[in-house]
């Protein structure tokens, strides 16, 4: 895992809006913490998008995924292995080329979503495609989310979603989006006893505040 990839990733493309499924809670929590977190007025926000309303021509694989995979092929690495720091400059060069010609690997959209849990949309998201915007402005619930995100980050070691991400991100994402979630949907190690289950149940009972909902 290199200094600018893995947990921090490469620089984003300003022409793209990134859509995340599994990794949405990580991004939402990370951005809120950068702005001061629970000790300020910055809280995680989720914008729920109906991708069926987006033209497929405007959807692309995340250029991080494309750049990493191309470098893996160049170095003869398996698709789960993250190139080490010696190849950071080359990875940046490849990502720059990918940004300049995103259509060259457009066929990797589904693989990008399956591997990283994210894809890119060229241009702004039309309002008609936004179904809901939710803000988690409760400090205790924010702390619960932060704990889950910390567990996800600690599990990350290579390229692709870990088992913890695949288990923990879906219920966290649905909860942050304002949908019903039960404690049973969380990983077994998080609900190992009655006290843990009670804690999860009390936190997810706090519903994010809906600031916009499509009618």
Query: Does 183 reside within a domain?
Result: yes
pLDDT for 55-68, tens place per residue?
A: 999 999 999 999 99
Query: 194 and 150 in one domain?
Result: yes
What's the distance, Cα to Cα, between the start and end of the chain in Å?
Answer: 44
Choose one of 96, 130, 164: the last residue of a domain.
Answer: 130
What token pair was written down for 171?
């219920």
Look at residue 49 and tell me whether its pLDDT is greater than 50.
Answer: yes
pLDDT for 92-149, tens place per residue?
A: 999 999 999 999 999 999 999 999 889 999 999 999 999 999 999 998 999 999 999 9
Look at residue 9 and tell me whether its pLDDT is greater than 70.
Answer: no
User: Whole-prediction pTM value?
Assistant: 0.84
- The predicted pLDDT at position 37 comes to 54
- As a whole number, the mean pLDDT across the chain is 89
Look at residue 166 and tell me whether its pLDDT is greater than 70.
Answer: yes
Query: 180 and 115 in one domain?
Result: no
- The predicted pLDDT at position 4 comes to 42
Query: Does 120 reside within a domain?
Result: yes
65 and 160 Cβ atoms separated by less than 8 Å: no
Query: 20 and 126 in one domain?
Result: yes
Strand partners, 17: 121
Instruction: Categorize the per-residue pLDDT at 34 as very low, low, confident or very high, splitting at 50, 70 and 90.
Output: confident
Query: 60 and 121 in one domain?
Result: yes
Query: 120 and 52 in one domain?
Result: yes
Look at residue 199 and tell me whether its pLDDT is greater than 90.
Answer: yes
Q: What percent of the chain has pLDDT over 70?
A: 93
Look at residue 3 and tell me whether its pLDDT is greater than 50.
Answer: no
Domain that holds residue 193: 138-208
Query: Does 214 reside within a domain?
Result: no
Instruction: Categorize the per-residue pLDDT at 38 as very low, low, confident or very high, splitting at 50, 70 and 90.
Output: low
Choose one of 89, 104, 130: the last residue of a domain.
Answer: 130
Q: Number of structural domains, the chain? A: 2
Look at residue 8 and tell me whether its pLDDT is greater than 80.
Answer: no
Query: Does 73 reside within a domain?
Result: yes
Choose one of 105, 130, 155: the last residue of a domain.
Answer: 130
Query: 22 and 40 in one domain?
Result: yes
Query: 94 and 186 in one domain?
Result: no
Look at residue 206 and tell me whether its pLDDT is greater than 80.
Answer: yes
Query: 106 and 74 in one domain?
Result: yes
Residue 163: CB partners within 8 Å, gap ≥ 6?
Answer: 155
- The predicted pLDDT at position 85 comes to 85
- The predicted pLDDT at position 60 comes to 97
Q: Which of 24, 6, 26 is nearest to 148 (CA)?
A: 26
Please state whether beta strands 59-61 and 118-122 pair in parallel, antiparallel, or not at all (unpaired).
antiparallel
Helix (H, G, I), strand (E, B) or coil at 85: helix
């Amino acid at each position: 895992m290199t200094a600018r990839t893995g947990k921090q990733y490469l620089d984003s493309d300003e022409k793209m809006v990134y859509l995340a499924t599994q990794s949405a809670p990580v991004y939402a929590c990370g951005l809120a913490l950068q702005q001061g977190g629970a000790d300020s007025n910055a809280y995680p926000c989720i914008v729920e998008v109906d991708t069926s309303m987006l033209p497929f021509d405007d959807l692309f694989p995340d250029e991080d995924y494309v750049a990493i995979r191309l470098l893996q092929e160049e170095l003869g690495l398996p698709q789960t292995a993250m190139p080490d720091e010696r190849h950071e400059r080359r990875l940046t060069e490849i990502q720059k080329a990918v940004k300049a010609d995103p259509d060259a690997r457009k066929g990797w959209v589904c693989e990008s979503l399956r591997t990283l849990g994210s894809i890119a949309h060229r241009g702004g998201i039309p309002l008609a495609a936004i179904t809901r915007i939710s803000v988690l402005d409760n400090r205790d619930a924010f702390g619960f989310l932060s704990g889950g995100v910390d567990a996800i980050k600690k599990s990350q070691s290579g390229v692709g979603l870990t088992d913890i991400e695949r288990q923990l991100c879906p219920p966290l994402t649905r909860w942050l989006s304002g949908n019903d979630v039960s404690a049973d949907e969380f990983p077994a190690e998080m609900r190992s006893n009655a006290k843990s289950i009670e804690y999860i149940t009390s936190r997810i009972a706090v519903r994010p505040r809906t600031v916009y909902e499509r009618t």
